[in-house]
Structure formats: structure tokens, C-alpha cells
Structure 1
Amino acid sequence: MAVLLQIRDAVKSFGDQKLLDEASATIYDGVKVGFVGRNGAGKSTLLKALLAEEELDSGEIIRNPKLRVGYLRQHDPFLPGENALQFLMRDSGQPDWKCGEVAGEFEIKGAYLEGPISALSGGWQTRVKLAALLLHEPNLLLLDEPTNFLDLRTQILLEHFLKHFEEACLIVSHDRAFLGATCTQTLDLTRGKLTLYPGPIEDYLQYRDDRREHDERANAAVVAKQKQLQKFIDKNKARASTATRAKSKEKQLEKLQTVDIAADEPTPNMRAPIVTPRQGPAVRCMELAIGYGDYAVAKGINLEIDHGQRAAIVGDNGQGKTTLLRTIVDSLPPVSGEVRWGYGCEIGVYAQHVYSSLPPDQTVLEYLDRVAKPGTTTQEVLAGAGALLFRGGHVKKKVSVLSGGERARLCMAGLLLGTYNVLILDEPGNHLDVETVESLTSALLNYKGTVIFTSHDRHFMKNVATSVIEVRDGSARNYGGDYDAYVYAVNKEIEQGERELAAARKKLAGPPVEKLGKVAKPAVVKDERALRKEMTNLERTIAKLDQQKKDLNAQLLQSTDPKKALKLHEELTTVTEQLSNSEDRWCEIQADLEGWDV
């Protein structure tokens, strides 16, 4: 296995903070590595050093002469008025058919391929950038938080791409589900040191906890032994008869050393508002149409969310998830229909843009004191600030000097200091590191109020959601299954699309051709009549399965019973797979028959 990159004794400091402290690691050909560490640990700095965009203070990075790095660019590399196909051809120098073929792997087709890139959402533009990476044929991909702002479908498409990508990857991400699905090794950056673990993220986290527990037990045993030896020495060193033994014990004591265990880094400790549990509907949407002006993004929405539910709103980017949330909280007027809240609902909102609209001249303490519920003492405000890691002098910092992650934490602290019995959270995990998201998860699980939220973090969604609302194809409905069932369904849709693409390519390729241009005869000549008979039977089967699929879809849309909906979903999955297999076989027979007609 060839070495692609070697980091040797890397040192890098910014002011008094040492990000890399004689850090070393080796990246091998064909290995996918998940790169983890706390916010501000220095992961992005190391990536810049690997790309030769940042110089180390000391140490070296040794690159294989055959190294070809592909880096997922965060800025927009597109020209004004350019479409995706034009960009891919310009960026890669590849012909249009090759660019279209690679774009198809990310479902970039039709208007998405040939329409202006400026009209595409951020998630679709990321798909275009990924297709561009693949066209350059790199043997090492560097991806820095690739799942940020990507919807579930695009995340899964990226996972499928990485699973089939045979070259090496180094992926920075806080998304444990994504890293677990794509990476076989884990690189950790903590206190300037790099640790490369030969296993996936969950195994590494377990190893880290087990190792710490082992070291703590070993240290406790060493300390106990030290005390025992010291007691013997103190008692016997003055006696002539036992002085020699005491001297021996002193030598033993000198050899006993404890293992250095780094102190835990501070972690957030969020506490949700204490509210009285309520019964019945919290909010109803009746014949609701959402959108902008007279344009409806989705319509005919009839939803009911009960008190105590934690409802996750899911769907592809651009389908209207945030528009639905904004309409529910009345920050956006409905196109038509009505949103009706239950009696006594106090609504707290965390929106994607909130952290950027904080008053810049206020300090952390001044802001929290202003937004806290009436009667909150200064001590309670300080406790709320401390729970989100604003401690000591940090509470006197102006909002204007806070980082994006600190502003997000400040908004969350203000929200949790209120008395809200309904929380509306739009992408709460953005700009929060994994430890802060874990703390938020625990707080919401203990919360007795109602939560309506969107998120691209699958680990967070899976643990928090008790119900799922899907926004899709111009409407919104209660999804029959849980979040795992929804992820499974999206995965199957993508797999079906990949099978259809493979079948279409096979059909376009036609039968194998000999050097003289004639059709190669099969090794075993099939009976044409038998094939045509099989084809006729397949057409009947396809028609039958297609009708079954339509009927099951209709039943699933009308179902309100979760158990029945899950059963219908399983039946639909089976029928869809049978239909796909039948269509693939039909394409194979068609190709054979066309080959004979040449």
C-alpha cells in the first residue's frame, strides 16, 4: 500500500494557541479517513497545510510524486450565466458526453444540467462541484464539512459516491452517521496531537473512552501502591534493622509513575425550559398553501401536531421546509389557508439567520439578561451562559467579536432561558460542534414541551424526532414511519435510480462489437421465440407491478396508523424492487433482440 501523504512533527501556532504540536500521521493509498476534533482544534489549518496554502512553523509534509489532490471548494467557482454542463467541460477539459455521464451519478440531469447554475440551490451546486472533482480523477479527496447544508438525498448520494470511489479520502466532519457510512479509519486532532485509529468513528470513540477508563484505573492502582510504599519507608528507614529494605522500597517507589490523562475539555450542559406538559393539538394547518406572494411552493397542507411531540420536517432542499416553518410561526404570511395555534402556546424560535442578527454592541451578559424571562436573577443568567461555555471574562465579550459558533451558542442560551412551551428550531446544529449538538439532544429529550424542527444531522434527527413530516412534490404530509424508515425509503429511491441509470447505459452500449464492426455472436445462441415470449410475459408483469406500486402509494398517503404505514412501506419497497428487476431484464432482452437484428 503506497504512502500518499506523510505528516512529520508538524508544529503550527496562532498567537499563544498551539494548534499542531509535533503532530505526525500517514495517509495511505485507497484508505478513507474521517478527520475529527473539537471546533478550533486546527483541522482546517492542517488541511490548508496539506494543500500548501499554509506554512508550518516547523516539521514537514511529504507528498508522493504521483499525488493528485481533489479539494471540495467552499467558494463558487462558476462564471455568470454558466450552466452545469458548461462548467464541468470548462473545469475538467472533458467532452460533453463524459461530463454528462459523471453528472448523472449525482442525478444532475435535464434543467439541472443545462439550466443556469445560479438558479440551483446550495445542495445542487455542491453536487456539481463533486462531479467536477470526479472528472479530474484525483487519488486523494480532501473534504471539509461536505454535508453542511446538504439535504438527506444529497448526503446519501455523496455516501454512495464515496463508497464506490476507489481512491483515498480525508474527510473533516462532525456528522457521525456520515463518517460511519464512508470512512474505515479515524484521525483525531486533540491538543495539537494527531492520533490515527485503524477503525471507524464509533469504534474509535469507544476505544478512546475505554482507554481513558483503563488509564484511570491503572493510575488509581499506582497511587495506592505509592501510598503503601511511602508508609513502609517512613516507618522503617530510621531503623538500622530495616533500613536496607526501606532503601529497596524507595527504588520501587521511584519506578512507579502514573499515566498523564489530559483534563476533559469543557463541554456544554444545556437545560431546556421547565414547562408544564399539555394535552391536545399544539398547532393545526388547514388547507394551507405556503410560498411567496401569489406563488405557492406547497399547498393543500392539512397537518396537526400534538403537544409533547418532537416533529421533524424533512424533504429535499428547495421543497419548502424552512418556508413551512416560517409560515407556522407567522414570519411569512400564508398564500392561503390557515395556521391555528392551541391556547396558551408560548413559542420560541431559532432560525438559520438569527445568529447573524444579534445586536453587535451588546455583551453576552447584556443580551442574555434582555431576552431572559422576567424575574430571572443575574446568577441564573450567568448559570445559563456558563452552560453554553460563556464563563468568566467571556460574558463581557461583545457580540461583534464572537465567532459563528459562539453566536449560535448565544442564541441557544437565550432561547433556553425563556419559558417557551413550543420550540421552533431551523437547522439548530449548523455552526455547533458535535459535543454541543449532543448536549442539545439531551436537553430536548428531557423537554416536556413541543418541538418542531429541521436538521441535516441524521444522528440528531434519529435521536430527537418522535414524528416525521415530509415536504415533497408541492405538499406536506405526516410520514407514516419513523426517521429510520424515511432514510431507508430515500436510500431505496436512490438505489433504484442508480439501477435505472446502469440499465440505460447498458442499453445505449448495445451488444459487444468485434474489431471489424460486426456484432459478436453469443457463446450460446438463445432461441429468439423464447426471448420474445419472456418479453411479453415481462410486459404484463411490469404493468401489474406498476399498478400495485400506484395503489400502495395511494394507501400510504392516506394512512394515519404508523404500524400500518410501515407495513405498507415495506410492501412498496418489495414491489418497487421487483418492478426494477423486471424492467432491467426487459432491457437486457431488448438489447439481445436488437443485436440479432443488425
Structure 2
Amino acid sequence: MSLLTIQDLTLRIAGRPLLEGACATIDPGRKVGLVGPNGAGKSTLLNAISGSFAPDGGDITLARRARLGHVRQEAPAGAQSVIETVLAADTERAALLAEEASNPTLERLADIHERLAAIDAYGAPARAATILAGLGFDEAAQNRPVSSFSGGWRMRISLAGGLFAAPDLLLLDEPTNHLDLEATLWLEGWLQRYPGTILMVSHDRALLDGVADSIMHLDKGKLSLTPGGFERFVRIKTEQALQQNRAAAKMAAQREKMEAFVARFRAKATKAKQAQARLKALARMPVLESVIEATPVRFEFPSPEELPPPMLRLEGASAGYGEHVVLSHLSLRLDGGDRIGLLGRNGEGKSTFAKLLADDLQPMGGEVARAPKLRVGYFAQHQAEALHLDQTPIEHMQAALPEADMTGVRAQLARFGLDAERAETQVGQLSGGEKARLLLALATRHAPHLLILDEPTNHLDLDARDALIRALNDFEGAVLIISHDARLIEAATDRFLIAADGRLTPFEGDMKDYRQWLLERERAARAEAAAKGAPTSASKSGQGGAQPSHAEARAKRKENNRALMPLKREIRTLEALMEKLQSARAVVEGKLAAPELYESGDGTKITALNKELAALDLQLGEAETTWLERQDELERSQAPSQEGPQGSPAGAG
């Protein structure tokens, strides 16, 4: 029996249809990722399932006695403490405890105690504290009032409440938007172990692949369910696209032959019946829609002129607020083409460092030297609060570029997919992803030499995230990225810094190594807590004081990773090239599948497109061969480093 059934569902907002006659079923225990472009209606569908949005038609049926929990993109507020707010999310427990305190009859009191024991009500504070700790709240923070936290941290409290309530069906709307990478990894592990059913809207590919066992696609008002994670979903959709394009090309050829026959023999009496038959056959032939988007998502960062190195240099710098020092002993050099990923928990100073580089924060000590003509582009999600909801993107860009004409203003917006219609829409009516595109357009309007991106993928859909990665790889300036999106960090940076304990420390390794380091650090912290401060080898490892065998293994691993960085960089470059070639190939195939190409009778254009396709196939084949060779070389080189323990990065932790 299914847990959730959606039958002939129709949803509209302001008369605009989002879903029409959509159907889907979700069985108990399934973990489903809900994907689709920005504005398709994913959040509205979750609201309809939870009962907070009335459908215009159809039915949504939840299994009898099934409990439902919904974590929205809205932050809680109030004077209650964090731990009290999370505990209150289990409404059954709260109601039973309130009834227990109201002096019920002895018989009813016995029933209450039996039910409280069944749901482990008295162990609830410990469970809630564990969830909050995983999301970054220490004991002191758990006892602070919710109103004392920023919007991003209050969203974490909302998420903690949803996880704690442990409903039969858990609805999650972009749960990683306000999490750092460490908390995202913790959430991924928690959701993997969750025994209930999950329906999750997310644009985080790593989370979808790590948690989802099926993908629900909301497209053109319909729902389709594909088994497997997001990677398998992409493979299936790609194959379907290729098959559809081949079928479209075949039908176009058949249609061309039929139309030629009709045009030639329509006037001849002996062929009239055959011509009529061909006309009827033409009418019956289905018209296949191209799966290649008519306007694919593309981002483009303007290219800056070269600067003499170094563009920026820090020597013993420190940064903070008032008299409170957040980061100290900062020494770093940035040159054109540098690609840095900044890792670390929230509150460790990542955004402080970004503001220091962007010149939004003055150093408290040390030296910060900048090239005289250095231009910095700084993107941060909190900048959305400064947007004027009653103004359009055009008006924002005109204010930011007073010297530019309308063509230049529209061109800068178009670099980030804000077409004429979106550019003339009030910001208050734009989706979160469209606002993020506007912020990117504003941040890069002066062709910066250094681009600082603080959580740029929040609210961007999957296609837009891919477009951002491609644009960053094409960008000729330097890049610093702070993000919980592991795929973005892996694809767009080539070295890492970790913010921890008031310092920035280089990390020699890739994201897989960083995940492993986080897991080892967490295990060490648990072992230390279990030993109540006893000086065990695990706790020493978590503090960076590893045993000699650990130190030797760590040094060897560090040396090996440093030697392998050029090879890893070449592999990433080849992967970006293959992605470009595959995208270009899909576009050419889409053009070849278009019926109007054959209707025009332009044989020269058809020949040129076929030649272009053959050239792309050749380049793609060569790139794939080289990639396989380099990947095999990397795997052989890494094989010895898999032996023995792995330590934490020097100086971090």
C-alpha cells in the first residue's frame, strides 16, 4: 500500500498553471528527490501535500494514521530557547506532557505514561540535543532564545524540529541552503539512516545521490518518477533525449519524402489517391518536442584585463569586529587564475575573510597589499536583503552602471539568464534563483579581477549550478569560493584553505580526503567525549597530536597529494571539456532534428551540421580516451596511499 497518492492534481498560482493532471505514488520507506527548474512549482507541491495550499483539482491522499512533517524555507521566531522549540516540534509528546500535568484520572494517566514510554518521550531532550549539535549548535547555543539568531541559523532550528519529530512522511524544501559543508555531510548521513519516507526538494546533486533512491521530476506540469539517484536520472533522461532526437530526425526525413511526393503528384489524377493517403499519413505523424532547451542556461563572467602579480597579498593580517579578533596570522598571495575553495564550519571566519578581501572590512593588524587597479566582485546571499522589491533588475543595473546605455545594461543581465521578460519584472516577483542571478550580474558588472562567491548556489536550480561551474572554469580572473556544494568546490577550485581556530590553513587533498578528515575528526571528538577528557589516542588524533605512525602516514599522504595535484587538475580540465563538447553535440543534434531544417531544403546547412557533429564526435572521443588514461594513472598513483591511517591537515582542527 502506498504512503502518498497524487491523482490528477492541478495547482495554479494567480491563474498560472503549475501542475495539470499530475499523478504519482510514493511507497513507505522511499527517499524521493523532487527536482525541476526554478518556478516549476516544487515548493507549492509540498505545500499542497502538507495541506497549507488548496489544490485547484485532483486528490492528495496520505495513508491512514500516517504522520506528516514539513520543513519549509521559512524561519521560526520567538523567545523560546532553541532546545524548547525543537522539542515542541513533536506535537504528540508535547500534548501528552501537557495532559499529564493537568491531573487526569489514574486510568488516563497510566495510558499517558504507556504512550510516553512507547515514543521514548523522556529520551527526547538527548535526541534533540544530538540533532542540534550535528547542525552546529553547541550546548550554550541550544539554550539561547530563537530570536537571538540570524535568519540562516533559525532555518537550521526549523530543520532540527522537522528531523526531531520523525514523521512517517518528511517533506524537506532545500534543507542544505543555510548549512555549511560539515552540517550538510551530517544531514546526509542522518537522512540515509532515517527509517521513514522522505520527499525532498533539493538542487544539491551530492545530497540527491547520497540520499535519494528515486527522483521525481516536475516538468511541464507533470510528475514522473525514476528509480535511482540523480546521476542515474541524468543518464536515463540523456538517453531518452538522444532517442527522441533520433526519432525526430527520422520522422523529419519521412515527412520530407511524403511532402515531396504530395507536391509532385497532387495534380495528377493517376496519383491523386496516393497523394491524399500521404497527406493523411502526414497529419497522423506525431510532432516530437525537442528535449534540448530552446534557451539553455548560460552564465558568462566578463573578462578582466591582466594585472601584474601579485594582485593581492596578506602578511600577518588579522580581522574581526570591534575588539573581537576572528582571524589572525593571515599570510596569503593571490594571482590571476588562482582557484581557492574556503572550507570550515559556520562561525569560523569564512565570511569575515571574504569581507576582508573584498575591502568591506578593514584589517585589525598586519598588512593587506592590493594591486592599484584591482577590482573585486563580491557575491553573498545576504545582499538579497538590500534589493528593492518594487524595482526591476533593469532599474537595479542602471543604478549600478549609471554610465552604461540600455544595451549595456541588458547585456550584463543577459549574461546570467535574465532575459527581457525577467529583466522587466519586479524583484519581489522573482524566484530565489532569479534574485541570485541578479546579484551575480551586479557583482560582476565591472569585470572584476578577483571574484568572491559566498554560497552562490543557494536557490540556483541544477541547470543554473552547472552553468555557474562552466562560467567559472572559463573565467580568466582569480576565484575564492565559500560553499556547502561539494560538486561546485570540486569542479571550480584547485586548492583548499580551512578556517578553524582563528587561522587559515592549507589542506593538501581533494574533497574526498576532506570528507574523510571530517569523519575522523568527528570520531575522535566522540571518543574524547566518551572518555570524559581522558588522553586517548583518538582524542589526540582529533586535536592534531597524532601518534608517530599517524604522522608518518599523514606526511606521506600530503606529499603524494601534492605530487598528484597537476594530474587532478588536468582531469578536471578534461571533464569540463567533455561537458562542453557534449553540450555542443546536443545542440547540433537538436538542430538536425528540427523539421524546419528539412522543410527549407537547405542541403548546404544540413551538410555543414553533419560535419560539425562528426568533428565534435572526434574531439569528444579523443578527450574521453585521454581522460580514461589520466584517470587510470591517478588510480594507480593513489593505490599505495589508501594503506594506513589518514590524519588531519597540518595545523587544522
TM-score w.r.t. length of structure 2: 0.73
Distance 2:561 2:256 in 1: 65
Distance 1:452 1:575 in 2: 31
Partner of 2:104: none
1:103 is aligned to 2:129: yes
| Partner SS state of residue 281, structure 1 | coil
Q: How far off its partner does 1:575 sit? A: 3.0
Give the conservation status (yes or no) of the 8 Å contact 1:272–1:444: yes
The 3 A distance-change label for structure 1 pair 358 and 165 is closer
| Partner SS state of residue 368, structure 2 | strand
Q: How far off its partner does 1:349 sit? A: 2.1
Letter in 2 for 1:349: Y
2:215 to 186, 190, 193: 186
Identify the range of structure 1 (28-37 vs 70-79) with the bigger mean alpha-carbon deviation. Answer: 70-79
The 3 A distance-change label for structure 1 pair 59 and 304 is same
Letter in 2 for 1:575: P
For residues 256-311 of structure 1, give each alpha carbon's deviation from its aligned partner in whole angstroms, at most 9, with x where no partner exists: 33334467364443221222345633322222222111111222222222321021
The 3 A distance-change label for structure 1 pair 63 and 344 is same
The 3 A distance-change label for structure 1 pair 549 and 123 is farther
Q: How far off its partner does 1:134 sit? A: 4.4
1:13 is aligned to 2:12: yes
Letter in 1 for 2:328: K
Distance 2:230 2:393 in 1: 35
Q: How far off its partner does 1:338 sit? A: 2.3
Letter in 1 for 2:547: Q
1:206 is aligned to 2:235: yes
1:282 is aligned to 2:281: no
Q: How does 1:310-325 map to 2 (within 5 A)?
A: 310-325=339-354
1:444 is aligned to 2:472: yes
Partner of 1:47: 46
Give the conservation status (yes or no) of the 8 Å contact 2:557–2:641: no
Q: How does 1:251-290 map to 2 (within 5 A)?
A: 252-261=281-290, 264=293, 266-278=295-307, 280-290=309-319
Identify the range of structure 1 (198-207 vs 335-344) with the bigger mean alpha-carbon deviation. Answer: 335-344
The 3 A distance-change label for structure 1 pair 62 and 39 is same
Partner of 1:591: none
Give the conservation status (yes or no) of the 8 Å contact 1:289–1:337: yes
Give the conservation status (yes or no) of the 8 Å contact 1:310–1:465: yes
Distance 1:184 1:558 in 2: 36
Q: How far off its partner does 1:486 sit? A: 2.2
The 3 A distance-change label for structure 1 pair 44 and 558 is closer
Partner of 1:309: 338
Distance 2:166 2:457 in 1: 33
Distance 2:459 2:40 in 1: 15
Partner of 1:229: 258
Partner of 1:510: none
| Partner SS state of residue 367, structure 1 | helix
Identify the range of structure 1 (301-310 vs 46-55) with the bigger mean alpha-carbon deviation. Answer: 301-310
Distance 2:563 2:5 in 1: 53
Distance 1:538 1:400 in 2: 52
| Partner SS state of residue 353, structure 1 | helix
Distance 1:489 1:273 in 2: 37
Partner of 1:334: 363
Identify the range of structure 1 (138-147 vs 257-266) with the bigger mean alpha-carbon deviation. Answer: 257-266
Distance 2:89 2:393 in 1: 45
Give the conservation status (yes or no) of the 8 Å contact 1:31–1:184: yes
Distance 2:255 2:262 in 1: 10
Indicate the structure (1 or 2) with the bigger Cα radius of gyration. Answer: 1
Letter in 1 for 2:418: F
CA RMSD of aligned residues (A): 4.0
The 3 A distance-change label for structure 1 pair 38 and 409 is same
Identify the range of structure 1 (40-49 vs 131-140) with the bigger mean alpha-carbon deviation. Answer: 131-140
Distance 2:446 2:537 in 1: 66
For residues 466-504 of structure 1, give each alpha carbon's deviation from its aligned partner in whole angstroms, at most 9, with x where no partner exists: 221110122112222234432332244346667888x88
Partner of 2:579: none
Q: How far off its partner does 1:330 sit? A: 2.5
Q: How does 1:159-558 map to 2 (within 5 A)?
A: 159-236=188-265, 239=268, 241-243=270-272, 245-246=274-275, 248-250=277-279, 252-261=281-290, 264=293, 266-278=295-307, 280-358=309-387, 363-372=392-401, 376-392=404-420, 394-397=422-425, 399=427, 402-494=430-522, 546-548=546-548, 551=551
Give the conservation status (yes or no) of the 8 Å contact 1:267–1:436: no
Distance 1:310 1:373 in 2: 31
| Partner SS state of residue 645, structure 2 | helix
| Partner SS state of residue 156, structure 1 | helix
Q: How far off its partner does 1:18 sit? A: 0.4
The 3 A distance-change label for structure 1 pair 405 and 461 is same
| Partner SS state of residue 142, structure 1 | strand
Give the conservation status (yes or no) of the 8 Å contact 2:560–2:641: no
Give the conservation status (yes or no) of the 8 Å contact 2:73–2:174: no
Structure 2, unpaired ranges of 5+:
94-119, 569-636, 648-653
| Partner SS state of residue 352, structure 2 | helix
Q: How far off its partner does 1:20 sit? A: 1.0
Partner of 1:23: 22
| Partner SS state of residue 23, structure 1 | strand
Q: How far off its partner does 1:185 sit? A: 0.5
Letter in 1 for 2:383: V
Structure 1, unpaired ranges of 5+:
506-535, 578-598
For residues 553-580 of structure 1, give each alpha carbon's deviation from its aligned partner in whole angstroms, at most 9, with x where no partner exists: 9969998983399999x97994369xxx
The 3 A distance-change label for structure 1 pair 558 and 372 is farther
Give the conservation status (yes or no) of the 8 Å contact 1:286–1:301: yes
Distance 2:75 2:283 in 1: 61
Q: How far off its partner does 1:363 sit? A: 4.6
For residues 136-156 of structure 1, give each alpha carbon's deviation from its aligned partner in whole angstroms, at most 9, with x where no partner exists: 342211100000010011101
Q: How far off its partner does 1:392 sit? A: 3.3
Distance 2:500 2:268 in 1: 87
1:71 is aligned to 2:70: yes
Q: How far off its partner does 1:461 sit? A: 1.5
Letter in 2 for 1:325: A
Give the conservation status (yes or no) of the 8 Å contact 1:148–1:430: yes
Give the conservation status (yes or no) of the 8 Å contact 1:123–1:317: no
TM-score w.r.t. length of structure 1: 0.79
Q: Percent identity?
A: 29
Q: How does 1:97-136 map to 2 (within 5 A)?
A: 97-101=123-127, 103-104=129-130, 107=133, 111-112=139-140, 115-116=143-144, 118=146, 129-136=158-165
Distance 1:409 1:20 in 2: 25
Distance 1:391 1:490 in 2: 42
Distance 1:538 1:184 in 2: 34
| Partner SS state of residue 228, structure 2 | coil
Partner of 2:616: none
Give the conservation status (yes or no) of the 8 Å contact 1:89–1:95: no
Q: How far off its partner does 1:337 sit? A: 2.0
Letter in 1 for 2:562: P
The 3 A distance-change label for structure 1 pair 76 and 279 is same
Identify the range of structure 1 (422-431 vs 271-280) with the bigger mean alpha-carbon deviation. Answer: 271-280
Distance 1:437 1:426 in 2: 14
Letter in 1 for 2:464: T
The 3 A distance-change label for structure 1 pair 87 and 357 is closer
| Partner SS state of residue 547, structure 2 | helix
Give the conservation status (yes or no) of the 8 Å contact 1:288–1:338: yes
The 3 A distance-change label for structure 1 pair 250 and 383 is same
Give the conservation status (yes or no) of the 8 Å contact 1:112–1:120: no
Distance 2:224 2:251 in 1: 26
